[in-house]
Amino acid sequence: MKIKVRKIGNAEGVVIPKTLLKKLRWKAGDQLELSATDDVIRLRAVDPDFERQLEAARYAMEKYKVALSRLADS
């Protein structure tokens, strides 16, 4: 599938075809994560519940890193 970069207001962007949005089950207002490497762009849907849980896990791991490290060594 080929698409073109378009002028959108003062920016430029691409429009994702409706058939692809339906296949991915994405809709207007969904939050996406954008990353790029070399000449490849990747879009990934963000699950807000998972992101919140991941942030809580990172907080706990940082807070208890000494205890977790000792548990891992035993």
Is residue 65 assigned to a domain?
A: yes
The whole-number pLDDT of residue 69 equals: 92
Q: What is the pTM of this model?
A: 0.58
Q: List b or e across 49-63, with b for residues whose CB sees 16 or more CB atoms inside 10 angstroms.
A: eeeeeeeeeeeeeee
3-state helix, strand, coil in the chain (%, to 5): 45, 25, 30
Residue 31's contacts (CB-CB under 8 Å, 6 or more residues apart) are: 45, 46, 48
Measure Cα distances from 70 to 7, 60, 63, 67 in Å: 55, 15, 14, 5
Is residue 45 assigned to a domain?
A: yes
Domain limits at 63?
Answer: 6-73
Is residue 1 assigned to a domain?
A: no
Q: pLDDT-based confidence at 50, cuts 50/70/90?
A: confident
- 64: CATH: 2.10.260
Is residue 55 assigned to a domain?
A: yes
Domain count, the chain: 1
Summarize pLDDT for 4-41 with one digit per residue, the tens: 999 999 999 999 999 999 999 999 999 999 999 999 99
